[in-house]
Amino acid sequence: MDRLIPYLQNSLTPYHAVKEAEGLLLRAGFTKLSETEDWQIAEGGKYYVVRGGALVAFTVGALNEFSYKIVASHTDSPALKLKENPLQKSALYATLNTETYGGGIWYSFFDRPLQIAGRVIKKENDRLYEEVVESPFRVVIPSVAIHQNRNANDGFAVNAQVDLAPLVSLSCGVENSADLLEKIAGKGVISHDLFLVNADVPYSFGVNDEFLASPRIDNLTSVCASLSALVGLENVSGVCIAACMNNEEMGSLTSEGADGDFLENVLRRIAYALRFDDNEYYKALASSFLLSVDNAHAVHPNHPEKADPTNKTALGGGVVLKNHANKAYITDGLASALVKTVFDNAEVRYQTFFNRSDVRSGSTLGALALRHTSMLGADIGLPQLAMHAACECFAKADYEEMKKGLSAFYGSTFLRDEKGVIIR
């Protein structure tokens, strides 16, 4: 928890999550690579590369058995995105014009301390450059009082244009949109990717402090667990990768997302830098494995009927192995057996998840990543409650099991032949 709690608190947006991750990796002796330069990598090396709000970090172990062991997660969470020219002024108040990013439980963002955060683009001479910023002030989306909305507790349909306009100032408190941006990021802002995010700090709860509640648990817990496992590796074989992708909450259809070419390019450039040809690369993929790590729904204490009748994943029950017949999750029988074997060998607690058959499944980044890099793969996750709310929660013990499981995965070797998979 000592690493996770500040990571959750400080990683307000994907750009902040990458900045925080870079600090962790640099302290652990990793070297930053650039997509615009040649890569010099070698056995025993530790490296990472950044593309916007996405980051891929990797270690190069003994290459007598060249393969990739990939843990993929995502840096983004549902939020409100600030439009260009965002200031809306009436005779009384100034509010912000926003649009929804991802599939949030939007009513949960009301009456919360929201912070404006993300990246701004500035210009110095002929160079455009980015700054990661956060506002020194908070804003709020105020609810309509019960006296003026007597049906509020009977159901409230949020209108994204009308209702999700945070109160930022009295009308006289800010002159125009440029003035607002200067208060957030200083002078010279040309463009921006700014979000309204929950600024609540993480907190423990439960009679034994067994739970943690925080914004952005989905999916920064997975990002932090994968990076923590990666930096703790010693004397492991093959190439171990933590792929922290962006834009999963809106479909991954970007250059920073799992359906873009970022991860595939990194894999190919690793092989090229290590002097492996295409034949060796494809042989490596055949013995490689991708763990798509994104959180899962635990049985709700007040609505247990929402869960599958025979596969009930619980807070405190360990890592969740996610399954779906139509491959919203990529786990199949062989991949499931492989993960279970690795976890059994390391005494990692795990449980299985299936959706109710009469409910449409969610999806995650695993299937999209494997469209570009064909290999065995499985979906796992941390069981949680209130997914996509402004504040979510999970059991602390499960996070420790996840870190243990990912370390065991990185520390294993998989060799695939016509008879099956050998796990060492």
CA-nearest of 303, 294, 313 to 355 is 313
What's the CA gap between 325 and 329, in Å, rounded? 8
- Confidence band, pLDDT 50/70/90 cuts, at residue 64: confident
Task: Provide the CATH number for the domain formed by 79-198 in this structure.
Answer: 2.30.250.10
Per-residue confidence band for 23, with pLDDT thresholds at 50, 70 and 90:
very high
β-strand pairing of 383-385 with 392-395: antiparallel
pLDDT above 90 covers a percentage of the chain that reads 86
pLDDT of res. 418: 80
Mean pLDDT (whole number) for 333-357:
96
DSSP-derived secondary structure letter, 280: H
68-100 confidence digits (pLDDT tens):
999 999 999 999 999 999 999 999 999 999 999
Q: Report how far residue 140's alpha carbon sits from residue 167's, in angstroms, rounded to the nearest whole number.
A: 5
Q: Which residue has the tokens 């990739």?
A: 68
Closest CA to 180 of 95, 106, 99: 95
- Report how far residue 87's alpha carbon sits from residue 94's, in angstroms, rounded to the nearest whole number: 7
Q: Which two tokens stand for residue 116?
A: 């404006």
Rounded-to-integer distance, Cα 142 and Cα 152, Å: 13
Alpha-carbon gap, residue 84 to 189, rounded angstroms? 11
At residue 291, does pLDDT exceed 90? yes
Cα–Cα distances (Å) from 279 to 66, 282, 289, 384, in that order, read 12, 5, 18, 42
Whether 158 shows a pLDDT value over 90: the answer reads: yes
The pLDDT assigned to 305 comes to: 95
Q: For the chain, give every residue range classified as CATH 3.40.630.10.
A: 4-77+215-423
Strands (E), 52-166: 54-60, 68-74, 79-89, 93-101, 114-124, 127-139
Q: What is the dihedral of CA 110, 114, 119, 125, to 10 degrees?
A: 120
**Reported pTM:** 0.95
Mean pLDDT computed over 110-137: 96
The pLDDT of residue 97 is: 97
Superfamily of domain 4-77+215-423: Zn peptidases (3.40.630.10)
Predicted confidence (pLDDT) at residue 374 exceeds the cutoff of 90: no
Task: Please report the pLDDT score of residue 73 as a whole number.
Answer: 97
Domain with CATH 2.30.250.10 in the chain: 79-198
| Residue 285, pLDDT score | 93
Q: What is the pLDDT of residue 393?
A: 98
Q: Give the model's confidence band at 301: pLDDT under 50 very low, under 70 low, under 90 confident, else very high.
A: very high
Write the DSSP symbol of residue 237: B
Q: Is the pLDDT of residue 261 over 90?
A: yes
**What's the pLDDT at 400?**
97
Across residues 171-189, what is the average pLDDT? 91
**Residue 63 and residue 52: Cα distance in Å, rounded?**
30
413 pLDDT more than 90: no
The candidate with the shortest Cα–Cα distance to 372, out of 243, 274, 238, 222, is 243
Cα 315–318–323 angle (5° rounding)? 95
pLDDT at 173: 83
Q: Averaged over 358-363, what is the pLDDT? A: 86
pLDDT level of residue 383 (50, 70, 90 thresholds): very high
Task: Decide if pLDDT at 114 tops 90.
Answer: yes
| Residue 361 banded pLDDT, cuts 50, 70, 90 | confident
Q: Is the pLDDT of residue 65 over 90?
A: no
pLDDT tens-digit series, residues 133-155? 999 999 999 999 999 998 889 88
Residue 320 in this model has a pLDDT that exceeds 90: yes
Q: Output the pLDDT for position 398.
A: 98
Looking at residue 144, its pLDDT comes to 92
What confidence category does residue 11 fall into, taking pLDDT thresholds of 50, 70 and 90? very high
Q: Tell me the C-alpha distance between 229 and 246, whole Å.
A: 20
What is the mean predicted confidence (pLDDT) over 377-381?
96
